[in-house]
């Protein structure tokens, strides 16, 4: 679990492309065909998240949507409340919904953190499009998944996208689903951008 004094581990991601063109990802090289795709290195340059295209969720009525600044401020506040990296929470929101608190996916995932009704119910959410309830439940679910996977951020994100069962069925590796294989690197890339932006802001504010 990502708590104070216990850092989240973002594992390296390896990519393999088979003779049939099938692309696979894993958190370690499973054979000689795997090559490093995304390194867990806090000093690496910011990655261009737009290189990994994630289609935006279907959006709800614009009139009911809080502005992006409010969603960001709420995400930062709730992330600190639950002792989880705000850069991670904001990255999940960016990739899941583009910060749209009224977003609804074709599968019924709703809100800024795209919660399914069954997941939301686990955390007592009564209104999926309420950004405070949605983001806090999403954060609590992320922390649960991090705890379940020993702090491995890559696997926690894979489980957030594809479900815990899918990760377990694939021997604790990223499931070979196109959406999940794109989703995990996209969130990690966006998280790195957010961390770099925060670092640059802090450095600029120093006398």
Give catalytic residue positions: 96
Query: What is the enclosing helix (H) or strand (E) of 200?
Result: helix 178-205
What is the full DSSP assignment across 128-167? TT-HHHHHHHHHHHHHHHHHHTTTBHHHHHHHHHH-HHHH
| Cα–Cα distance, 129 to 125 (Å, whole number) | 10
| Cα–Cα distance, 16 to 196 (Å, whole number) | 28
């Amino acid at each position: 679990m990502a708590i104070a004094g216990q850092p989240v581990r973002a594992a390296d991601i390896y990519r393999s492309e088979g003779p049939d063109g099938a692309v696979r990802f894993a958190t370690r090289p499973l054979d000689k065909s795997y090559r490093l795709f995304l390194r867990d290195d806090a000093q690496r340059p910011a990655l261009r998240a737009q290189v990994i295209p994630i289609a935006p969720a279907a959006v709800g009525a614009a009139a009911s949507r809080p502005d992006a600044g409010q969603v960001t401020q709420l995400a930062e506040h709730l992330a600190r409340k639950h002792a989880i990296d705000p850069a991670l929470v904001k990255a999940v929101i960016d990739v899941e919904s583009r910060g749209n608190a009224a977003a609804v996916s074709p599968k019924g995932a709703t809100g800024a953190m795209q919660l399914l009704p069954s997941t939301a119910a686990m955390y007592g959410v009564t209104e999926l499009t309420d950004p405070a309830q949605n983001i806090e439940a999403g954060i609590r679910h992320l922390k649960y998944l991090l705890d379940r996977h020993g702090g491995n951020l890559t696997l926690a994100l894979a489980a957030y996208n594809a479900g815990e069962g899918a990760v377990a069925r694939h021997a604790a590796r990223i499931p070979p689903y196109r959406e999940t294989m794109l989703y995990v690197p996209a969130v990690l890339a966006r998280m790195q951008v957010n961390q770099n932006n925060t670092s640059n802001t802090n450095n600029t504010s120093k006398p």
